[in-house]
Structure 1
Amino acid sequence: MLQSLFYTLAPLLTLLLQTAHANVEKTIFLAPTPSPLSSSNITPDLSDLGLDLLSPENNILRTNLNASFPSTAKPDGAESWFLLEGLNPGQRYEVRVCWLATQPTSFTLSTYPLDAIIDDPSLLASISHFSSARLASVDVNNPREVIPQVPNSHHAPRNPLRRTRSHDSDSVLFLRIYAAADYFTIEQGLMESVPPVIADVILDPFWGNVFPNSLVPTACWGLIVGIAAIGIARWVVKEFGRVVGSAAGSAEKKGQ
Structure 2
Amino acid sequence: MVFSAWPCILPAILFFHSSAVPVLANTEKVIFRGPETVNIPPQKPSLQDLHIDTLTPTPTLTRTTTNTNTNTNIAGRWRGKVAWFLLDGLREDQRYEVRLCWPATQPTAFTLTTHTLPAVFATEELITSLWEYSLSRFPAHASGHLLDVADDTPPPPPPHEREASILFLRIAAAADYFSTNATLMATPTPVDVDIILDPFLLGVLPRSLAPTAAYVVVVAAVSYLVARHVVLAGLERLVLVRLGAVGLAIGADAGEKKKKKKKKRL
TM-score for the superposition, normalised by structure 1: 0.75
Aligned position for 2:224: 230
State the alpha-carbon separation in 1 of the partners of residues 54 and 27 from structure 2. Answer: 20
- Assess, with a 3 A threshold, how the Cα gap between structure 1 residues 54 and 162 changes in structure 2: closer, same or farther: farther
State the alpha-carbon separation in 2 of the partners of residues 52 and 163 from structure 1. Answer: 17
Q: SS where residue 79 of structure 1 aligns? A: strand
The alignment-based identity, stated in percent, is 37
Pick one of 195, 201, 211 that aligns with 2:189: 195
The ranges of structure 1 where at least 4 consecutive aligned residues each deviate by more than 6 angstroms after the TM superposition are: none
Aligned position for 1:146: none
CA RMSD of aligned residues (A): 2.8
Question: Counterpart amino acid of 2:209?
Answer: L
Larger Rg: 2
In the alignment, structure 1 segments of 5+ residues that lack a partner are 1-18, 144-157
Task: Answer yes or no: is the 8 Å Cα contact 1:52–1:82 preserved in 2.
Answer: yes
CA deviation after TM superposition for structure 1 residue 163, in Å: 8.2
1:181-227 alpha-carbon deviations (Å, 9 max, x no partner): 11122333212211211111111111122211111122122222222
Question: Counterpart amino acid of 2:66?
Answer: L
Task: Answer yes or no: is the 8 Å Cα contact 1:86–1:166 preserved in 2.
Answer: no
State the alpha-carbon separation in 1 of the partners of residues 31 and 55 from structure 2. Answer: 15
1:111-142 alpha-carbon deviations (Å, 9 max, x no partner): 11101111111111111111112222689658
- Assess, with a 3 A threshold, how the Cα gap between structure 1 residues 58 and 83 changes in structure 2: closer, same or farther: farther
Q: What is the number of residues matched between the two proteins? A: 219
Q: Does 1:96 align with 2:99?
A: yes
Deviates more, 1:65-74 or 1:104-113: 65-74
Aligned position for 1:26: 29
TM-score for the superposition, normalised by structure 2: 0.72
1:31-71 alpha-carbon deviations (Å, 9 max, x no partner): 111124x3386x83011111011112374211111111132
Aligned position for 1:123: 126
Question: Counterpart amino acid of 1:93?
Answer: Y
Aligned position for 2:173: 179
In the alignment, structure 2 segments of 5+ residues that lack a partner are 1-22, 142-148, 253-266
State the alpha-carbon separation in 1 of the partners of residues 204 and 140 from structure 2. Answer: 41
Q: SS where residue 45 of structure 2 aligns? A: coil
Deviates more, 1:117-126 or 1:216-225: 216-225
Aligned position for 2:202: 208
